[in-house]
Amino acid sequence: MPSNKTPRPLEKGDWVYIFGTGERGIVEKVMDDGERVWVRIPSQTDWPWPRWVHIPSMRIKRVRPPKSPKPEITTEEALL
C-alpha cells in the first residue's frame, strides 16, 4: 500500500548521515530550494573545531541525533 506522506524537507538543526564518508553532522544552511546544504561535522578527535561540508542533498539522509553520554561519577559524594 503506497504512502501518501511526503518526506519533510531538511531544515537547520537536522542531523544527517553523509553517504560518501559515513559521517554524521548537523545541517547549518539549506540552499537552492533544498538541493544543496552546509553540514557541520563535529570533531571526533582532540581537534576542538568542527569541519564544514557543502554537499548536494541527494547524498545525505536525515537520522536521529546521537544519544547524550551519561555523566561520569568521579566522587564519593555523588554515589550517596
State the amino acid at position 31 in one-letter form. M
Q: Report if residue 60 sits inside a domain.
A: yes
Q: Report if residue 53 sits inside a domain.
A: yes
Q: What pLDDT score does 69 carry? A: 78
Q: Report if residue 31 sits inside a domain.
A: yes
* Per-residue pLDDT reduced to its tens digit, 12-69: 999 999 999 999 999 999 999 889 999 999 988 888 899 999 999 999 999 999 888 7
Q: What pLDDT score does 15 carry? A: 96
Q: Report if residue 75 sits inside a domain.
A: no
Residue 77 phi, psi dihedral angles, 5° rounding: -60, -35
80 pLDDT band (50/70/90 cuts)?
low
The domain of 30 spans 25-66
Residue with cell 547524498: 59
Domain count, the chain: 1
- Write out the H or E segment, with its range, that includes residue 78: helix 76-79
- Choice between 72 and 62, residue whose per-residue pLDDT is larger: 62
76 pLDDT band (50/70/90 cuts)?
low
Q: Report if residue 54 sits inside a domain.
A: yes
